[in-house]
Structure 1
Amino acid sequence: MKTGKQKLLIAAKVLFVLFVAILIAFYIFRDAVLQQTIAKVSHEMQVEYNSSFTIKKASFDGLSRLNLSEIILVPKNADTLFKIQKLKTSVNLWHLLTGDVQLGTLEVQNGFVQLVKKGKVRNFDAFLKKDNQTEIRDEKKDYAQFTYRIISKALNLVPTDMILDNLSFRLDDNGKKATINFQKLRLVNKQLETSIQVQTNTISQRWKIKGFADPRNKKADIRFVNIDTGAIQMPYLDERFNLKSSFDSIRLNIQNIDRDGDQLHIDGFMAIANLKLNHPKIASKDVLLKNAKFDYRFLLGSNFISIDSSSTVQLNKIKFHPYAAYETEKDTIYKLKVNLPKMKAQDFITSLPDGLFTHFQGMEATGTFDYKLDFAFNQNKPNQLVFDSKLKKENLRITKYGEANLNKLNGEFMYRALINKVFQRGVLVGNANPNYTPLDQISPYLQKSVLTTEDPSFFSHRGFITEAFKQSIVKNIRTKKFSRGASTISMQLVKNAFLSREKTVSRKLEEILLVYILENNRIVSKERMLEVYFNIIEWGPNVYGIGEASQFYFQKTPAELSLNECLYLARIIPSPKKFMYQINNQGMLKDFAVKQESFLTNIMFRRGLLTPDDTIYKSLPILISGPAKSFIKFKVQDSTQIKVDSLANDDEFDL
């Protein structure tokens, strides 16, 4: 009777003989199997993707080395998707038998892959369709398992040794062309070396990628640099998205990709030097970030994807720890936390990207501060939004202003509105201007009306209204666009007095920082801020300040304005150049304007800003009597009818 060890030995021998038999059978019939496989793939491409796939010549060299030539994929009635003249590769046979394709070596000579769009027709559309039979929408995806499987399969297709000569990646988007030609690529003994030629309609450069790459152990450390002098310019983005971008070098380091239980860890860092961006939505100038580094630690589980809080982002001298997460266990929740440890205020100012904060250039400060942000949005419970922003400062003081000298608000200065990059006529903010109106000479009705419509808590907040900001975020997320702002009078004042009206990321960031400095360093009193605000905001076409506005509409001084007139002026602030659309052809308020006025009046009543005595004369209609009258289209009466009516009145008088 055989022992257990003898049985195992016999089983091992049987498996070995079986494996050898499979290898022999594979060796004998390998070319036939190869041709059959090519025919199957070609048929699938024809049936499933309406494309022609051909290989002119295919053969094995030894047991696992494969030689192919003239490999072509052409979608029907479209440009060739790819064509490779010669390809040699070897496959790990053991992994192949277990269903895991793993390339050992790869040699490619003279080929191209191209994506072409002509009109609305793209040569890759057929390969973007979803397989509805395999798509299970109700089944939750295990993010860790799915990502690890994709990464493993992708890295297995990266050969351990690779030689590419003259392989091009081409893009033609209705004439917007870009070609990245790998003139030489070598991955030998885990060392990567390349020579790349880049050509577009606007640039021609030579790039180099070099470093360490070990796809089997999931590790890499590679650098992306320019062979020629000057920065690397990113192709295609300038023509397609009007985004000009460049950098001196990029470094990507992957230290670890590890599956630990039900979690996946991805660790490493990315660094970029002298990143330059130019786009109308970012800023009016080039934005330059000299040094940036991201020490990342991604964590993925069965129902979450996150950037761990141990990660570090460094922008010049600014360092902070981000935490970001997307969770789907019960509800769909987005989370963001930022922890900026204590740092010197001056280091923060000098680390701001050039071009993004132009009004801060030259600013100097003393003291330190730290900052924390906690944000959470539940897609199924949007009203439970969490937004907690805390800045803790120690001896923080501005010792020198940059381009935006906030202290100028305390004295006389010349204001020029900047509209569409064109400075408008100058408006003197000071008593030498006959239209300038001190706060105590502005009708209390107008002050109350404007504060109600624009910023009810102006005298109590410090530049921002947290609840309004939260509601703005909720609505913008729901509509997937910036459909609602949370602008206070402080923010409007800073925007008007120091910034342009351009809708850029730069302008909004500068506005937030300047408002915080203005409101939290007691540079200007609230009363003075409101007075300047009333005297510089636009109130109509080429009408600036309440002194000009009261004359333009009603031929009055700001102190003489009635309640109805104040309600009208307060309501047109958001769109002052469209004031005429609130008036009908008989010079009366349109129905929607009457409803708005009634709504505003009721709010002011509830808040105790108005009493019944204030509304004694409210039933009287407003009368546009100033120069604004010329902008209103009045109905012209029939002169014949006027004459007939006049004669009829005369007859009645005679009787």
Structure 2
Amino acid sequence: MRNKKQKFFLFLKILIVFLLFSVAGIYFFRDVLLQKVIEKATSKFEADYNCNFSVQNAHFDGTSSIELNNIILVPKEADTLFSVEKIKTKISLFQLITGDVQLQNLEVKNGFIQLVKNEKGRNFDAFLKKDKSDDSNEKRNYAKLAYRLLSKMLNLVPTEMQLENIALRMDDLGIKVTMQLPKLQLKNHQLQTNINVTENEFSQTWNISGFVDPRAKKADVRIYNSDTSKIQLPYIYKRFGFKSGFKNVHLKLDKFDLESNELHLDGLVSVEDFTISHPKIAKKEVLIKTASFDYRFLLGSDFVSIDSTSSAQINNIKLQPFAEYNTEEDTIYKLRILIPKMKAQDFISSLPEGLFTHFTGMETEGNFDYKLNFKYNKNKPYALVFNSNLNKENLKILKYGEANLNKLNGEFVYRAIENNVLQRPVLVGDSNPNFTPLEQISPYLQKCVLTSEDPSFFSHRGFINEAFKQSITKNIRTKKFSRGASTISMQLIKNVFLTREKTLSRKLEEILLVYLLENNRIASKERMLEVYFNVIEWGPNVYGIGEASAFYFQKKPIDLTLKECLFLASIVPKPKKFMYQFDDEGKLKSFANKHEEFMSKLMLRRGLLTPEDTIGQQIPLSISGRARTHMKFKVQDSIAVDSLFNEFDFN
């Protein structure tokens, strides 16, 4: 029994001595181990990333502190990616041996990270390539990839840190931005720093402060300017044409985890006095006073989404969004937005300044809620889903803003805008001798225009869902506003109240104004059609059907024939190019005749015409009015042009 105990204690003594000698050996040879680790890293950078990595001097200071001097990382045949004069940190020997490094504290002095894109490529491309451990025959799991990369980055963020004179430089084909940190301190999870941001002649100083815990993967940080001016975001203006800034921004990360092969990111982003300016958004700078996004991002192997548990708020407008990009089978985009029941006035007051200028000053009462459901399959574009539902409760307009829709019911002056230039005033009302009441406009013309522009005008409420879907589909495919889905209601709003600019602002205002016009019984359909005929452009400097019938045919609108009405309806989309429908003998070209024939058959089939209406349709169309001066003929026209100018008063 005693022999067994003696043997056990002897073994224990030997083990302790061995461990002591091992620790002592590691301690005394720790610098050698450190050099081995650096040599391993150097080989890995060269083999895996085609980069030269070097450390001029590396040694332990005490038992766990490491100091590195003059560390440089240079991709071959590219600009330096990383350079630091001094790094001092604490790290366990076990982590150093295993390679699973988590920095405890960090001191860095005089260095930079530099991202460069030029004609040779990008100096960081090698670090974006696929991990060799991945099976090249398997679909890449972006959730795992993102989690792995972000986890490694967070592990390299120490629990305590002090940086001095560190810069992040970026050069994107000559667009140069530098973010210089004179001093950054992270202590007891509290972050404090300021950043000097320069882009060519532009310069600002940003302050950053808040809570950061890289091990728990949590953060709560605020960014604000050192003075009272707004933070202006660099790079994006020169790269994308966006001007953007904010008073301060709050960034919060509550969760970062991989669950069932899905990466979960939960947190909050809020911003004050956010401004954005771009010619495709609005003519004026857009201002959002307050906005917040309580987000949950999900990233899987074949999708990325904003989860429906997320919520957003723009001023007083609360939103529940869902968005997804999915490539599991087809490439599918999904978007759902819910605006819970809210006061209409709170909505109007919360619209971003500069984006809805025509609603400024509008007063309403009542409530509403709204739902949008959008789904687009890139491989099946015409199976698009677009459902938009607004439920109103005692909704009334008490006072109009800049766009006074009620003016449609009375006499008013209309002025078209061409290339941001106001055209001559056109009086819409009985005081104008060229104004034509609806009952004095040829029924043929009414039927022709309605057939070509908006067949369901008298039954819809401003929008035609199928046409709207087709418009969205084509605009997505062409990546621009290449096709509208304009009803006569939308054309009327666009002509009378808005400009012709193709901006997001104008399109959103158009949609909202049409909805208000059509769903609040502001003007009758007959009055809307009457105003439409009297304001739209029918040719160069020709506005209203009264002017148009004289310009082309020296007639009153009530006297127009079916053939003449078919022609006038065909030029509504492009009235200034009417002359291209005629040959050099003044006769309609083949394509114009075919279009006329198609429209006639369509209207006959729909019961809008009878066979008797088409008698005499084979007689060639004759342009007898002042429009002839815009047409090209083989022989000089003999019509006395001056007399036609004086026939109607266009002032």
Same fold (TM over 0.5): yes
Q: CA offset at residue 63 of structure 1?
A: 5.8
Distance between the aligned counterparts of 2:299 and 2:81, measured in 1?
A: 34
Task: Report if aligned partners of 1:80, 1:123 keep a CA contact under 8 Å in 2.
Answer: no
The aligned residue for residue 145 of structure 1 is 144
The equivalences for 1:215-614 within 5 A come to 215-301=214-300, 303-614=302-613
Distance between the aligned counterparts of 1:613 and 1:129, measured in 2?
A: 73
The aligned residue for residue 40 of structure 1 is 43
Distance between the aligned counterparts of 2:135 and 2:480, measured in 1?
A: 30
Distance between the aligned counterparts of 1:618 and 1:134, measured in 2?
A: 76
Write out per-residue CA displacement over residues 200-247 of structure 1, whole angstroms, 9 at most, x where no aligned residue: 234321111100000110110000011112111112333333322111
Distance between the aligned counterparts of 2:595 and 2:54, measured in 1?
A: 70
Distance between the aligned counterparts of 2:212 and 2:157, measured in 1?
A: 10
Q: CA offset at residue 158 of structure 1?
A: 1.7
Q: 1:492 to 1:206 in 2, by over 3 A?
A: same
The aligned residue for residue 652 of structure 1 is none
Task: Report if aligned partners of 2:233, 2:245 keep a CA contact under 8 Å in 1.
Answer: yes
Q: Could you say what secondary structure the match of 2:347 adopts?
A: helix
Write out per-residue CA displacement over residues 351-397 of structure 1, whole angstroms, 9 at most, x where no aligned residue: 11111111111100011111112222334443433222111111100
The aligned residue for residue 647 of structure 1 is none
Task: Report if aligned partners of 2:115, 2:124 keep a CA contact under 8 Å in 1.
Answer: no
Gap regions ≥5 residues in structure 1: 638-655
Q: CA offset at residue 398 of structure 1?
A: 0.1
The equivalences for 1:74-223 within 5 A come to 74=74, 79-95=79-95, 97-116=97-116, 120-122=119-121, 124=123, 127=126, 130=129, 139-173=138-172, 175-223=174-222
More divergent stretch after superposition (326-335 vs 522-531):
326-335
Q: CA offset at residue 623 of structure 1?
A: 2.1
The aligned residue for residue 30 of structure 2 is 27
One-letter amino acid of the counterpart of residue 40, structure 1: S
The aligned residue for residue 71 of structure 1 is 71
Q: CA offset at residue 129 of structure 1?
A: 7.5
One-letter amino acid of the counterpart of residue 57, structure 2: K
Q: 1:133 to 1:196 in 2, by over 3 A?
A: closer
More divergent stretch after superposition (241-250 vs 517-526):
241-250
Q: 1:597 to 1:92 in 2, by over 3 A?
A: farther
Q: CA offset at residue 20 of structure 1?
A: 5.6
One-letter amino acid of the counterpart of residue 84, structure 2: I
Q: 1:597 to 1:159 in 2, by over 3 A?
A: farther
Q: Could you say what secondary structure the match of 1:222 adopts?
A: strand
Q: CA offset at residue 509 of structure 1?
A: 0.7
Q: Could you say what secondary structure the match of 1:630 adopts?
A: helix
More divergent stretch after superposition (321-330 vs 71-80):
71-80
Task: Report if aligned partners of 2:275, 2:287 keep a CA contact under 8 Å in 1.
Answer: yes
Q: 1:329 to 1:432 in 2, by over 3 A?
A: same
More divergent stretch after superposition (128-137 vs 87-96):
128-137
Q: CA offset at residue 133 of structure 1?
A: 7.8
Q: CA offset at residue 569 of structure 1?
A: 1.6
Q: CA offset at residue 418 of structure 1?
A: 1.6
Q: CA offset at residue 616 of structure 1?
A: 1.5
Q: 1:462 to 1:199 in 2, by over 3 A?
A: same
Q: 1:492 to 1:63 in 2, by over 3 A?
A: farther
Q: CA offset at residue 565 of structure 1?
A: 1.9
Distance between the aligned counterparts of 1:174 and 1:471, measured in 2?
A: 38
Task: Report if aligned partners of 1:42, 1:54 keep a CA contact under 8 Å in 2.
Answer: no
Q: Could you say what secondary structure the match of 2:416 adopts?
A: strand
Task: Report if aligned partners of 2:492, 2:528 keep a CA contact under 8 Å in 1.
Answer: yes
Q: Could you say what secondary structure the match of 1:432 adopts?
A: coil
Distance between the aligned counterparts of 2:75 and 2:517, measured in 1?
A: 62
Q: 1:410 to 1:183 in 2, by over 3 A?
A: same
One-letter amino acid of the counterpart of residue 124, structure 1: N
Task: Report if aligned partners of 2:79, 2:123 keep a CA contact under 8 Å in 1.
Answer: no
Q: Could you say what secondary structure the match of 2:166 adopts?
A: strand
One-letter amino acid of the counterpart of residue 205, structure 1: Q
TM-score w.r.t. structure 2 length?
0.88
One-letter amino acid of the counterpart of residue 30, structure 2: Y
Task: Report if aligned partners of 1:34, 1:59 keep a CA contact under 8 Å in 2.
Answer: no
Q: Could you say what secondary structure the match of 1:152 adopts?
A: helix
Distance between the aligned counterparts of 1:144 and 1:130, measured in 2?
A: 15
One-letter amino acid of the counterpart of residue 103, structure 2: L
Q: 1:126 to 1:322 in 2, by over 3 A?
A: closer
Task: Report if aligned partners of 2:265, 2:296 keep a CA contact under 8 Å in 1.
Answer: yes
More divergent stretch after superposition (435-444 vs 18-27):
18-27
Gap regions ≥5 residues in structure 2: 637-651
Q: 1:41 to 1:147 in 2, by over 3 A?
A: closer
Q: CA offset at residue 561 of structure 1?
A: 2.0
Distance between the aligned counterparts of 1:299 and 1:145, measured in 2?
A: 12
Q: CA offset at residue 174 of structure 1?
A: 5.2
Q: CA offset at residue 184 of structure 1?
A: 1.2
One-letter amino acid of the counterpart of residue 298, structure 1: F
One-letter amino acid of the counterpart of residue 86, structure 2: K
Distance between the aligned counterparts of 1:410 and 1:634, measured in 2?
A: 44
Write out per-residue CA displacement over residues 329-357 of structure 1, whole angstroms, 9 at most, x where no aligned residue: 44443222212111111111111111111
Q: CA offset at residue 597 of structure 1?
A: 2.6
Instruction: Give the % identical residues.
Output: 60
Q: CA offset at residue 461 of structure 1?
A: 0.4
More divergent stretch after superposition (18-27 vs 412-421):
18-27
Distance between the aligned counterparts of 1:25 and 1:512, measured in 2?
A: 76
Distance between the aligned counterparts of 1:347 and 1:554, measured in 2?
A: 52
Q: 1:101 to 1:344 in 2, by over 3 A?
A: same
Q: Could you say what secondary structure the match of 1:513 adopts?
A: helix
One-letter amino acid of the counterpart of residue 250, structure 2: R
One-letter amino acid of the counterpart of residue 453, structure 1: S
Task: Report if aligned partners of 2:193, 2:208 keep a CA contact under 8 Å in 1.
Answer: yes
Task: Report if aligned partners of 1:111, 1:166 keep a CA contact under 8 Å in 2.
Answer: yes
Q: 1:588 to 1:43 in 2, by over 3 A?
A: same
Q: CA offset at residue 486 of structure 1?
A: 1.1
Task: Report if aligned partners of 1:84, 1:112 keep a CA contact under 8 Å in 2.
Answer: yes
Distance between the aligned counterparts of 2:270 and 2:128, measured in 1?
A: 36
Task: Report if aligned partners of 2:30, 2:60 keep a CA contact under 8 Å in 1.
Answer: no
Residue 629 (structure 2) pairs with residue 635 (structure 1): no
TM-score w.r.t. structure 1 length?
0.88
Q: CA offset at residue 478 of structure 1?
A: 3.4
Q: CA offset at residue 497 of structure 1?
A: 0.4
Q: Could you say what secondary structure the match of 2:104 adopts?
A: strand
User: Over the residues paired in the alignment, what is the CA RMSD in angstroms?
Assistant: 3.0
Distance between the aligned counterparts of 1:121 and 1:417, measured in 2?
A: 51
The aligned residue for residue 626 of structure 1 is 625
Distance between the aligned counterparts of 2:352 and 2:238, measured in 1?
A: 24
More divergent stretch after superposition (257-266 vs 559-568):
257-266
Q: CA offset at residue 301 of structure 1?
A: 4.6
Distance between the aligned counterparts of 1:602 and 1:89, measured in 2?
A: 84
Q: Could you say what secondary structure the match of 1:599 adopts?
A: helix
One-letter amino acid of the counterpart of residue 501, structure 1: R
**Alignment size in residue pairs:** 625
Distance between the aligned counterparts of 2:100 and 2:401, measured in 1?
A: 61
Q: Could you say what secondary structure the match of 1:337 adopts?
A: strand
Distance between the aligned counterparts of 2:461 and 2:136, measured in 1?
A: 47
Q: 1:299 to 1:127 in 2, by over 3 A?
A: closer
Q: 1:132 to 1:301 in 2, by over 3 A?
A: closer
Q: 1:564 to 1:91 in 2, by over 3 A?
A: farther
More divergent stretch after superposition (387-396 vs 231-240):
231-240
Distance between the aligned counterparts of 2:455 and 2:142, measured in 1?
A: 46
The aligned residue for residue 642 of structure 1 is none
Task: Report if aligned partners of 1:30, 1:60 keep a CA contact under 8 Å in 2.
Answer: no
